Structure 1
Amino acid sequence: MLRISHSILHAFDFQSGSSYLSQHELDLEERQVRSYVARRMRNISSSPESKHGEFSEQSAFADAVRQYAVGQLGFVEISQQVGEYLWEELRRCDDLEECDLLMADFTDTREMKVDSKEVQEDPDAAAAAAFDGSSADRYLAAVLLPRKQAFVHDLGSDAGGAPENEILRQDSTLPNPTQKVDSYVLVNLGTMEIDFLDKPRVVGTEERLVIPDGLLQCTAQASSREVVESVERIVEDVAEQYGVNPVEAVAQAKAYVASNADRDESFSPEDVGQAVFEDRPDLQERYQEATREESLPEEVPIRRGVANRMARNHKIKTDTGIEITFPSEYAADSNYIEFTADDQGNVSIIIKNVGKIENK
């Protein structure tokens, strides 16, 4: 759950060549505003697409963030610094995309025990109620919101007073709060760790990542999704090379990732191979060679919710068109599901201890 402390919206209009940097924060007492900002922040903070990084020693933005974290720089001031930098950088790009900049200071509470009905009715109130006693991290976030065209009706009347309606085009529509965006940064104000996402933009003849290379000046580590997908592929390749059932091996790898995320909100790619190929040192060695060849990081942060979506379940599809989804942890437990193969290599799947079957 999130508690939003500050938020502000800066508007860019590349068509007219003007930027509108607000000098006032958004009114978070307005429930619709608070809800939009909270949902947007929740969306980026739980994204498995986020890359991870650390500030370089030369990063001027890192100094500004540190000043802000200790109260030496105000929220509006640091947001305007970000707005001015991004405006100048984006207006130089060849393919201009109309967008606005949303920034927020928020606290992410963890391990809260609240009533589910309360969460549905008012997420922010539920977060506030559960805040005391919860572990929490404070973040500074900046999100580029691409604007889209929309058509609306314009209600009016003619000179004689008769109703006369028109269709107008609006160019200032913000994306839905759950819609994915491709450019944002999230800085943990306690640890200075960075999560970000950006897309290449062309300036002249050169492609550039404005956020990590320009604004942040930070390192870039693969996203949680990219590393998990690499680990699954390596496990599958090694299993197939050595005659091990790749379905069981990949499912066990996913179960290991999900289990570690529940406990530590991170996992080690190297440890995955040791767990999956526990009784096969030769397979462990081949797996480790493959992870080194792909330069996978030693430790990968991954949130519980992200891990649950990516690794909690495993889905398979047979060449006969049958699809099965099962909890990843069941792959290593023959009490629930078992894979066997005959002399011709045909595979049979036995699902066990089923008390009830429902149509879906």
Structure 2
Amino acid sequence: MRNTDAVMIKKAIVHVLDRNSDEPIFTDFEQDIQEDVHEFLEKHIIKSLQDEENRKGKFRGGVTAVKDACIKIFTEEQDFIECSKEIAAHLFKAMKSNNNISSSDLVICLYESFEKNYVGILKLDYKKSFIHQVEFVEDKLKVSIIPQTISLPGMSQRLQKCAFIKEIDEEDEYDLIVLDKQNYGNEEDGEIAQFFVQNFLNCSILVDNRDKTKLFKKATEKWTRRNLKEDIDKAQEVREEAINSLKNCAEIDVEKFTQSIFGNDQQMQENFIQHLDQEGLPVENFDIDKKWVEKKMKKRSIKTDTGIEIKGEYEDIEDKMKFEIRRNGDGTVSIIIKNVRSFQER
């Protein structure tokens, strides 16, 4: 699903979820899928499916309003409108659980990709935009800029919350792809964030090899910054070992990696493994997602405490003829860019 680069919208419908109202505003008609509407929906679907933050999910037991409605859409397309209302009503109920959850339009669509059907659920949060207004005042023409508070996200913007459900097979690893960009900055934000995945979709978020690869890279850097701020040599060793493992190995053995980095320092080993666990990475072997590595680790960025930032291709920074980090023996290093024939300022 994540590799989708084209979809065909077969059915779509829009319901209004205004949390200031007691009930959702349901429509009784499907959306006319004109060329520009198709492009609008297709771009948001593709962009969300390719977003690095989306996750695989599996429906849980208990209340399964979304799952049940999607199964019915797949098997009885003539019930699409009524099923969409059930999904919208369930989301509206979940939204009412917290006053800070934003009102939105809800688009539900049935689309086809690679000859398979999927249900897309897109929560279109309102964006503030501006339009001009033309009016006559005392026989004179007046043009004003006025705000529009219920504009929908443009095609260049990214959705905050959406889900893409495939035809249900209980034996499959996952049932849906979920994108939820809610900020988990504090307890209240956490409650808001969980309403979509837990209260509405009622699904468990899975951690696949792509997620594990990304988590390993991010968590290792986070731990290094926090614990090795005063030991630049060791910090460099940890970073280089992590990069080499991701680029040159087929899998990560977390315990073996930890032992190779920290040797017999049992306290550091336990501290690092505990940190990975807290970041959501299970302490177990996992296959490295090479596609993610190739895509996200093409460039490297180094920022020093002296205010200098260096960016370049990984291959160039790893080339000893072009780049070197030389230890000075006093806890500092010198970063040397070698064999430069010319340079430009930007």
Partner of residue 102, structure 1? 107
Contact kept in structure 2, 1:104 and 1:142, CA below 8 Å: yes
Question: What secondary structure is seen at the aligned counterpart in 2 of 1:155?
Answer: strand
- What's 2:157 paired with? 179
Does the CA-based 8 Å contact 2:9-2:38 persist in structure 1?
Answer: no
Equivalent position of 2:324 in the other structure: 338
The residue type equivalent to 1:195 in the other structure is: V
Amino acid in structure 2 at the alignment position of 1:345: G
- The Cα of 1:354 is off from its aligned counterpart by 5.7
Aligned to 1:220: 205
Counterpart residue number, 2:178: 195
**Residues 75, 309 of structure 1: alpha-carbon distance in 2 compared, 3 angstrom cutoff:** farther
Alignment partner of 1:316 out of 280, 286, 302:
302
Give the CA RMSD over aligned residues: 4.4
Cα deviation digits, residues 218-275 of structure 1 (max 9, x gap): 2235794655421332466787799755346435635755788xxxxxx96x447757
C-alpha distance in structure 1 between counterparts of 2:97 and 2:230, whole Å: 50
CA contact (8 A) 2:217 2:242 kept: no
| 2:4 pairs with 1:19 | no
The one-letter amino acid paired with 2:323 is I
Cα distance, 1:321 vs structure 2: 2.3
Whether contact under 8 Å (1:4, 1:104) holds in the other structure is: no
Counterparts of 1:107 and 1:257, CA distance in 2? 35
Number of the residue aligned with 2:54:
50
Q: Does 1:147 align with 2:126?
A: yes
Q: Secondary structure at the match of 1:34?
A: helix
Structure 1: which amino acid aligns with 2:201? Answer: L
**Counterpart in 2 of 1:296?**
281
Task: After superposition, give the CA deviation of every residue in 1:62-94 in whole Å (9 maximum; x if it has no partner).
Answer: 343344445567544443221111123324532
The alignment partner of 1:20 has SS state of: coil
Distance of 2:166 and 2:288 partners within structure 1: 13
Q: How does 1:140-289 map to 2 (within 5 A)?
A: 140-157=119-136, 162-165=140-143, 168-189=146-167, 191-197=174-180, 199=182, 207=191, 209-221=194-206, 224=211, 228-234=217-223, 244-247=233-236, 249-250=238-239, 253-254=242-243, 257=246, 270-271=252-253, 286=269, 288=273
Q: 1:275/1:35 Cα in 2 relative to 1: closer, same or farther (>3 Å)?
A: farther
Q: CA separation in 1, counterparts of 2:240 and 2:47? A: 27
| Aligned 8 A contact 1:257 1:311 in 2 | no
Q: Distance in 2 between matches of 1:138 and 1:356?
A: 55
The 1:359–1:166 alpha-carbon spacing in structure 2 relative to 1, beyond 3 Å, is closer
Structure 2 residue runs without a partner (length 5+): 169-173
Structure 1 residue 37: Cα displacement:
1.5
Using the size of structure 2 for normalisation, the TM-score is 0.70
Q: Distance in 2 between matches of 1:292 and 1:166?
A: 56
* 1:39 counterpart (39, 43, 50): 43
CA-CA distance at 1:103 after TM superposition: 2.8
Distance 2:76 2:205 in 1: 28
Q: CA deviation at 1:182?
A: 3.0
C-alpha separation in 2, matches of 1:35 and 1:257: 37
User: Relative to structure 1, is the Cα distance of residues 63 and 14 closer, same or farther in structure 2, using a 3 angstrom cutoff?
Assistant: closer
Q: Which residue of 1 aligns with 2:171?
A: none
Q: Does 1:62 align with 2:99?
A: no
- Per the alignment, do residues 106 and 64 of structure 1 end up closer, same or farther by CA in structure 2, a change over 3 Å counting? same
Supply the distance in 2 between the matched residues of 1:351 and 1:58 (Cα, whole angstroms).
Answer: 60
Q: Which moved more, 1:21-30 or 1:272-281?
A: 272-281
Query: Structure 1, residues 333-353: CA drift from partner, whole Å, max 9, x if none?
Result: 534432220222331223356
Flag structure 1 segments of 5+ consecutive residues without an equivalent. 109-130, 261-266
Q: Contact conserved, 1:330 with 1:337, CA < 8 A, in 2?
A: yes
Residue 351 of structure 1: aligned partner: 337
